[in-house]
Amino acid sequence: MKYLDEFRNGETAQKLVAEIRRTVTRPWSIMEVCGGQTHSIIRHGIDQILPDEIELLHGPGCPVCVTPLEIIDQAFAIAARPNVIFCSFGDMLRVPGSHGDLFSVKSQGADVRIVYSPLDALNLAKQEPDREVVFFAIGFETTAPANAMAVKLAHSQGVDNFSVLVSHVLVPPAIEAIMNSPTNRVQAFLAAGHVCSVMGYWQYPELSERHQVPIVVTGFEPLDILDGIRHAVIQLEAGRACVENPFHRVVAFEGNQSAQQLINEVFEVCDRSWRGIGNIPNSGFRLRDHFTKYDATSRFNVTTTTTSVTSPCRSGEVLQGTLKPHECEAFGTTCTPRTPLGATMVSSEGACAAYYNYGRLIDIETQA
């Protein structure tokens, strides 16, 4: 992998910051949509070097964080079945359900495995024809093509012991929901570069126009993020609101069309409940009727699982950018990565975990 150092160069970063500083005349609140961007901002300390006028609000783009409790509980119920091999991305294993996390389910004897791709789970199903292999298909549009591919291949290859527990969510309806919220403070968005690499950004001009909000397609490296902020600030200061794509080395307007085609073939848009936020219309994917036989919820009949929410977790406010992680009374006290109350404290893309792990509760200066 090249380009790591180039997009983390301290001198170029200072030049970008200087330009932002020269441009900005008053306070602006900009939301980075994706949790990967939040992580990068906190890890590299981008928020520390920006002028005080710029406030970064951390968005809902953490797939682990927004997966609703009932789906996580369904996952645990399926994973606990004796004949099941439950496959998940690693990030999901420590997310608390109503009762413990997947690591706990595993320690009680469930066969829970970390995979890097849904195709690994599909291969496992072929190797273990007498077991039921279930893949936890969560994520935004970024992971949807691979998940669609796994289901399509299972279908064409007749791998009947494979199924998926789907909890896919979509970015544009989330942006819409945030803009429609009465408590909204977001004045510009940094759109999630990885999602746009799949979906393009053809859905954004209408959103930007209707809500008069700048949307800048932004990558994940420090210089990408600073450049995204620079574009947003220039628009805000000029009173403009349009869609820009400084992340053009990766993202094209129309996106990856064969990936979109694959998604459309396997999934259809549905309403989704987002953990901490609630139901957002047309904000998710479910399997099309043609593929329902690969739907783990019906195969294992877990749709009636009851959940119990007693936690004081305020991740919904964090995910909508109305509360900073360290402003939550549970942050760092009753809620830590070791004893998380919500998924935002667990996932590497969760804002609370980023704040906790990189020490954003403590004001420190070093001269290393």
Partner 1 sequence: MNSPESAYFKGSNCPIPLQDYPQIVMGHGSGGKLSADLVEHLFLPAFRNDCLNQLGDSAVVEVGSHRLAFSTDSYVVRPLFFPNANIGDLAVNGTINDLAMSGAHPLFLSASFILEEGFAMESLATIVQTMSAAAKRAGVQIVTGDTKVVDRGHGDGCYINTSGIGVVPAGVQIAASRAQPGDAILVSGTIADHGMAIMSVREGLEFEAPIKSDTAALHGLVESILNVCPETHVLRDPTRGGIASSLNEIATASGIGVALKDSAIPVNPVVRSACELLGLDPLFVANEGKLIAIVPADKAEDVLSAMHQHELGQQAAIIGHVTSDHPNLVVSRTTLGASRIVSMQIGEQLPRIC
Query: Applying CB under 8 A, which residues contact partner 1?
Result: 1, 4, 8-10, 13-14, 36, 42-49, 63-64, 89-94, 103-104, 106-108, 114, 116, 138-140, 142-143, 194, 222, 337-339, 347-349, 356-359, 362, 364-368
Q: What are phi and psi of 207, to 5 degrees?
A: -60, -45
Minimum distance of partner 1 from residue 2's CB (angstroms): 8
357: CB partners within 8 A, 6+ apart: 337
Task: Tell me how far, at minimum, the Cβ of 343 lies from partner 1, in Å.
Answer: 12
Unique residue bearing structure tokens 């791709």? 117
| Distance of closest approach, residue 211 Cβ to partner 1, in angstroms | 26
109/239 with CB nearer partner 1: 109
C-beta of 218: minimal distance to partner 1 in Å? 15
Strand partners, 218: 192
How many angstroms separate the CA atoms of 362 and 353, rounded? Answer: 14
- Tokens 């906790």 label which residue? 356
Name which of 168 and 211 has its Cβ closer to partner 1. 168
For partner 1, give the closer residue by CB, 168 or 314. Answer: 168
Nearest approach, Cβ of residue 28 and partner 1 (Å): 20
CA 57 – CA 36 distance, rounded (Å): 13
Q: Please, what is the angle between helix 222-238 and helix 10-23, to 10°?
A: 10
Comparing CB distances to partner 1, the nearer of 83 and 107 is 107
Smallest separation (angstroms) from partner 1 to the CB of 82: 16
**Nearer to partner 1 (CB atom), residue 194 or residue 211:** 194
Q: How far apart are CA 272 and CA 68, in angstroms?
A: 9
CB of 20 to partner 1, least distance (A): 13
Task: Pick between residue 73 and residue 221 the one whose CB is nearest to partner 1.
Answer: 221
- Residues paired with residue 112 on neighbouring β-strands, in sequence order: 86
Report the residue number, 90 or 312, with the smaller CB distance to partner 1: 90
The pair of structure tokens assigned to 87 is 């496959």
The dihedral through the CA atoms of 69, 33, 241, 233 has a sign that is: positive
Handedness of CA 158, 70, 35, 343 (dihedral sign): negative
